[in-house]
């Protein structure tokens, strides 16, 4: 049938798109698969952009997830450097048009458009030296700036902002982090972990200013010279990094009149509100999928979610739809500190501290209704793995025994009563 031969068109060439295409081919999908990405590169890993790549330990070639050769061998056409500007549906699928004038037809449209860095709309935001971080091109600019001299101000005390701050400190720059709320990493981690990271940043020489906004950037001859804070303080700065969160890229979904609510609204099978278009990864707002979690919708921004969610979408296309279930996990390297989170911390009702945070190797085990629902592990990869496996198997740890580090965590696992 002609309609089957148009195949799947994936808009966005990032982590989710590759995982989707790979899962389709593994599942025996024989129709054409095309990935269109506006960045002029094959899909690459973003995590190193604020870690090893920024520090100068990795080059861009090492970031590629799947090479053009691999994609070609698996029958996946990659159109890099092409932005899809319009999409239209017809009875059997639809057409997409790119900025360069290409027309691409599809049976199945997959939105894997990710998100963009949130802009800070204050005076001077367009000065040279004011940078943000989302793409490899952003990271190249930031890397060059951080290997220069002068004070660095980071606007935003989230994961990416703190990772950039850690690299800048390691490169010998004086660094100040400005955070609008009353704690670091407030959106995702527990208050106890926020306190730990504030102290850890300060121990390493980073100044942390909470409850304060960036009001503007001052410059001379078009280049940043200072950052003005909402509290009136003026900080001399050679480089400012704006890292205040991300905005899902939902323009095409809106064009198609799909429901959008903090991301492209999808069901448990990754289907958008028309029941046919799929949306995966960072751009999608998914129904809460973690059994012991909270009701409502979530938009996890992690490599693990992008991969697992894309595989779930591929199963839908392959005619094996299954409700998306995954134990969410995430890591962040803050200089020499590795944080690993499993489960959703939001909604936890009580916490057991396992180990001594002063040693910078410990775990925070989080409970809801008496059951283990999440863990935040710093310098404690083995315990992260134990909790991850426990949550995958539906096991828990008795909170009254959880703090006893003389007993290995795996020996404390039990089925819920
Ligand atoms: C600097 C940084 C560090 C990170 N560190 C970590 C980490 O340590 N651990 C972790 O788990 N996660 C981390 N993440 C998050 C993780 O990288 C993302 O969750 C993941 O990349 C999401 O994959 P995605 O495919 O949904 O979106 P993306 O990787 O953003 O890919 C989407 C692609 O779609 C393209 N696109 C959008 N619209 C169009 C269009 N109309 N036409 C064509 N192309 C389009 C975009 O240009 C982009 O290339 C980090 C993210 C960043 C930015």
Q: What tens digit of pLDDT does each residue of 221-258 get?
A: 999 999 999 999 999 999 999 999 999 999 999 999 99
**Nearest-CA neighbor of 263 among 245, 276, 277, 251?**
251
pLDDT for residue 1 = 41
Q: Is-contact 337 386, C-beta < 8 A?
A: no
CA of 186 relative to ligand 1 center, distance in Å: 21
Task: Tell me how far apart the alpha carbons of residues 98 and 100 are, in angstroms, rounded to a whole number.
Answer: 5
Q: State whether the beta carbon of 300 lies less than 6 angstroms from ligand 1.
A: no
In three-state secondary structure terms, 95 is: strand
83 Cβ inside 6 Å of ligand 1: yes
Task: Say which residues have a Cβ less than 8 Å from residue 88's Cβ, sequence separation at least 6.
Answer: 94, 95, 96
Residue 283 has what DSSP assignment?
A: G
How many CB atoms are closer than 10 A to CB 390? 22
Three-state SS string across 52-81, please?
HHHHCCCCHHHHECCCHHHHHHCCEEEEEC
State which of 11, 45, 47 you would mutate to test the pocket of ligand 1, scoring each by most atoms of that ligand within 8 A of its C-beta. 47
Contact 398, 367 (CB under 8 A): no
User: Which residue from 51, 113, 143, 278 has its CB within 8 A of the most atoms of ligand 1, so it is best to mutate?
Assistant: 113
What would the two tokens of residue 415 be?
């089925």
Residue 46, ligand 1, Cβ within 6 A = yes
| CB 264 near ligand 1, within 6 Å | no
Identify the segments of the chain with pLDDT beneath 50.
Answer: 1-4
pLDDT digits (tens, 9 = 90+) for 92-133: 899 999 999 999 999 999 999 999 999 999 999 999 999 999
Q: Is 93 helix (H, G, I), strand (E, B) or coil?
A: coil
One DSSP character per residue, 123-177 reads TTTTSBTEEE-SSHHHHHHHHHHHTS-S-EEEE--SHHHHHHHHHHHHTT--EEE
Please tell me if the CB atom of residue 84 comes closer than 6 angstroms to any atom of ligand 1.
yes
* CA 19/CA 331 separation, integer angstroms: 19
Are 242 and 226 contacting, i.e. CB atoms less than 8 angstroms apart? no
Q: Is 37 in the pocket of ligand 1 (CB under 6 A)?
A: yes
| Gap from CA of 114 to ligand 1 centroid (Å) | 5
- For residue 409, give the H/E element and its range: none
**How long is the chain?**
417
Ligand 1 in reach of 14 Cβ (< 6 A): yes
Helix (H, G, I), strand (E, B) or coil at 196: helix
Q: Which residues of 303-329 are buried (b: 16+ CB within 10 A; e: fewer)?
A: bbbbbbbbbbbbbbbeeebeebebbbb
Cα 46 to ligand 1 centroid, rounded to whole Å: 6
Q: Give the per-residue pLDDT at 292.
A: 56
Yes or no: say if 265 and 257 are a contact pair by the CB < 8 Å rule. Answer: no
Place of tokens 């960036």: 214
The domains found in the chain, sorted by start residue, are 2-116+247-317 (3.50.50.60), 119-244 (3.50.50.60), 347-414 (3.30.390.30)
């Amino acid at each position: 049938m002609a309609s089957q031969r148009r195949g799947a068109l994936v808009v966005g060439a990032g982590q989710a798109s590759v995982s989707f295409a790979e899962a389709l081919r593994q599942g025996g999908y024989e129709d054409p698969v095309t990935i269109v990405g506006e960045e002029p590169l094959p899909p690459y890993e973003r995590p190193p952009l604020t870690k090893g790549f920024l520090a100068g330990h990795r080059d861009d070639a090492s970031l590629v997830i799947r090479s053009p050769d691999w994609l070609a061998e698996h029958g996946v056409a990659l159109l890099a450097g092409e932005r899809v500007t319009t999409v239209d549906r017809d009875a059997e699928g639809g057409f997409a048009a790119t900025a360069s004038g290409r027309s691409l037809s599809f049976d199945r449209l997959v939105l894997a458009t990710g998100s963009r860095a949130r802009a800070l709309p204050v005076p001077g935001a367009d000065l040279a030296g004011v940078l943000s971080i989302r793409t490899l091109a952003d990271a190249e600019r930031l890397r060059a700036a951080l290997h220069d001299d002068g004070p660095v101000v980071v606007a935003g005390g989230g994961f990416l902002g703190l990772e950039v701050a850690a690299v800048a400190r390691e490169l010998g720059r004086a660094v100040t982090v400005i955070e609008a709320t009353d704690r670091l990493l407030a959106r995702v981690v527990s208050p106890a972990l926020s306190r730990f990271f504030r102290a850890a940043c300060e121990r390493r020489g980073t100044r942390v200013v909470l409850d304060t906004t960036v009001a503007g950037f001052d410059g001379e001859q078009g280049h940043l010279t200072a950052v003005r804070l909402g509290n009136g303080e003026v900080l001399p700065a050679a480089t400012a990094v704006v890292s205040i969160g991300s905005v899902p890229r939902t323009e095409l979904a809106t064009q198609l009149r799909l429901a959008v609510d903090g991301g492209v609204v999808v069901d448990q099978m990754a289907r958008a509100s028309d029941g046919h278009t799929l949306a995966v990864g960072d751009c999608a707002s998914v129904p809460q999928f973690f059994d012991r979690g909270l009701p409502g919708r979530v938009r996890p921004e992690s490599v693990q979610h992008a991969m697992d969610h894309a595989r779930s979408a591929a199963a839908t296309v392959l005619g094996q739809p299954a409700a998306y279930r995954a134990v969410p996990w995430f890591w962040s390297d803050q200089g020499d500190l590795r944080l690993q989170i499993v489960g959703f911390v939001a909604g936890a009702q009580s916490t057991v501290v396992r180990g001594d945070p002063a040693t910078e190797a410990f775990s925070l085990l989080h409970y809801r209704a008496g059951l283990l629902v999440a863990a935040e592990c710093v310098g404690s990869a083995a315990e992260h793995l134990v909790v991850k496996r426990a949550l995958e198997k539906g096991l828990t740890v008795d909170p009254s025994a959880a703090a006893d580090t003389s007993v290995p965590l795996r020996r404390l696992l039990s089925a819920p009563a």
